[in-house]
Amino acid sequence: MPKMRAVDAAVAILEKEGVDTLFGLPGAAINPFYSAVRQHGGLKHILARHVEGASHMAEGYTRAKAGNIGVCVGTSGPAGTDMITGLYSASADSIPILCITGQAPVAKLHKEDFQAINISDIARPLCKLSMTVLEAAQVPGAFQQAFHLMRSGRPGPVLLDLPFDVQQTVIDFDPDTYEPLPVYKPAATRAQAAKALDLLAASERPLIVAGGGIINADASDLLVELAELLDVPVIPTLMGWGTIPDDHRLMAGMAGLQTSHQYGNATMLASDHVLGIGNRWANRHTGGLDTYRAGRTFTHVDIEPTQIGRVFAPDYSIVSDAGLALAQLVEVARERKAAGELADRSAWVAQCQQRKRTMHRRTHFEETPIKPQRVYEEMNKAFGPETRYVSTIGLSQIAAAQFLHVYKPRHWINAGQAGPLGWTVPATLGVCVADPEATVVALTGDYDFQFMMEELAVGAQFNLPYVHVLVNNAYLGLIRQSQRGFDMDYCVQLAFPNVNAESADSAVDITADYGVNHVKLAEALGCKAIRVQDPEAILPALEEAKKLMAQYRVPVLVEVILERVTNISMGVELDGVVEFEELALNAEHAPTAIALLD
């Protein structure tokens, strides 16, 4: 039997499980692992500037491509605690990532050794497995089980904590005969699929709500086929955006309190039956349940049994992987269509399409300072259907969901439930590593950007080019808008007189009024940057950014200076979304309106 250090076995298993990239930071307690990575030479390593950043890079890497599992690595103590936010974000959105941490030697774990902390207990509520491996012979099994759990059932993260002495202990291990464990995923039966379609057939105005589970299952093609077979409109959730192209005739818009369309909410409220597949009934999607549920029945398909009934009791439920459920539903629907047993939904579809053509929010504003809606209008012109967008939270993300267009799965990459500030920059870098030839566009507000802007240096160092659109109002905009309910504007202003501004009244250097000079920050971190203050200059700046990105192969920041206060449409009920700006009455007056495919 071959003999090797436990860390050599761990690295061999990573390669056998399909891992090709690590995101992390070396440190004393994890250096044995790094020595194995160096000796094996088969793994690419991206050096993050912050361990939380490494965990979000791993998330972006996983989210960008089916089958990927991002791996982040850090030393003992604060490296593990820094990863907690990444573990939370991954757990909340069902994203498999593997966090590997170093640890003090086993004999010193109870002696309050330097940077020794019980990270496995801290991380356990967020992980499918969180384990400090105390015996070197357990290392291969721990890694094998980690990948099995990350891929089985509802996907999610794992943390493995490796004491310094365990890493270096020599064990018996044969990498040539290692095989990954079989993945377990519950599957819908034919009878369950038939029952779900019976319930849908009994309705007059059905909808499919498409969640992120469909993207995790790489089953968007099956979703579109099912919708087309049944001629039933689709409402994607924020995490399911891209499962059906925005310009598809059956894409009925998103519903919700914030990241939604007027026509999506109106169609949801007009429906009488909803088939939810791979979704959580998240509160930003549903709003008040009395309004959301009134007058309609529900079928819920989810891979995790404990999700069924968590928010409300559906009329029928199926525990199944979204892809396996869709395969059964499509098979039954094909047979019923061939037998002429499917209902004519043309009148209902026409109603949904009419709402989609006419119920648009206005985007074309010519004012200076720039209104944020105009930014997304110009982004739709600059970036085509192959673009991958990355965002996390705030008014910038909410407006993006209301105004941008997404045409493919994994082309809207978003931290849905956790929404941690600072997530966007590192997650975008992970996406760039996963798909180096893609056009990747990040979108943040100024505060999100300032949380982890140091990770831009990673993009410069490793030549990870993308366009970063930063909408700057020098405010915590979403929190300010929320504070309206408390009649206050408290501790949310980011503006201050920057003593390094060229002139307090300069039309060029807006930092005199807006505080942080993001352009200089980006340039100092090795990136290119452009500032825009005129709405007519947005599109030329985006086009220039694409050229700079291709020329220099680094992130390119496009900072758009916005008016200080703009309220973005949102509310507390689907039928109570507040519109703060004049509405476009039809597609002719809404530059972001899209033509439906025939």
- DSSP reduced 3-state for 146: helix
Q: Could you read off the pLDDT of 50-96 as tens digits, one per residue?
A: 999 999 999 999 999 999 999 999 999 999 999 999 999 999 999 99
Which has the minimum average pLDDT: 193-197, 214-218, 357-361? 357-361
DSSP strand pairing (21-24 vs 44-47): parallel
pLDDT tens, 163-190? 999 999 999 999 999 999 999 999 999 9
Q: Where are the beta strands (DSSP E) in 79-164?
A: 97-103, 129-132, 158-163
Spatial distance between the Cα atoms of 586 and 360, rounded to a whole number of angstroms: 7
pLDDT tens string 320-338: 999 999 999 999 999 999 9
Tokens of 180: 């990954």
Number of residues that this document lists for the chain: 598
Token pair recorded at residue 147: 């990948």
Tell me how far apart the alpha carbons of residues 447 and 459 are, in angstroms, rounded to a whole number: 20
Nearest to 225 by CA among 326, 95, 297: 326
Strand 70-74 versus strand 21-24 pairing type: parallel
In this prediction, residue 450 carries a pLDDT of 92
Distance CA 167, CA 31 (A): 9
| Amino acid identity at 233 | P
What is the full DSSP assignment across 228-258? HHHT--EEE-TTTTTSS-TTSTTB----SSS
Asked if pLDDT for residue 195 goes beyond 60, the answer is yes
**Contact, 494 vs 447, CB < 8 A?**
yes
Mean pLDDT is lowest, of 23-32, 236-245, 301-310, 512-521, for 512-521
Q: Which class for 449: exposed (0-12), middle (13-18), buried (19 or more C-beta within 10 A)?
A: buried
For residue 575, give the amino acid letter: D
- The pLDDT tens digits for 380-420 are 999 999 999 999 888 889 999 999 999 999 999 999 888 89
| pLDDT > 90: percent of the chain | 79
Angle between helices 6-16 and 31-40 (to 10 degrees): 50
Q: Are 456 and 405 in contact (CB under 8 A)?
A: no
Tokens, residue 452: 């982890």
Q: Is the pLDDT of residue 591 over 60?
A: no
H/E stretch holding 440 reads strand 440-445
Between 424-434 and 51-64, two packed helices, what is the crossing angle to 10 degrees?
A: 50
Task: Report how many helices (DSSP H) and strands (DSSP E) the chain contains, helices first.
Answer: 25, 23
Report the DSSP pairing between strands 412-414 and 273-277. unpaired
358-362, 377-381, 468-472, 593-597 — which is least confidently predicted? 593-597
Q: Which of 95-99, 102-106, 154-158, 218-222 has the lowest mean pLDDT?
A: 102-106
pLDDT digits (tens, 9 = 90+) for 34-62: 999 999 888 999 999 999 999 999 999 99
- Neighbouring C-alpha atoms within 13 Å toward the C-beta of 345: 24
Per DSSP, helices labelled H in 65-138 are: 78-82, 84-92, 119-123
Q: What is the pLDDT of residues 341-385, one digit of tens each?
A: 999 999 999 999 999 999 999 999 888 899 999 999 999 999 999
List of domains in the chain: 3-177 (3.40.50.970), 190-358 (3.40.50.1220), 368-562 (3.40.50.970)
Q: State yes or no: pLDDT of 130 exceeds 60.
A: yes
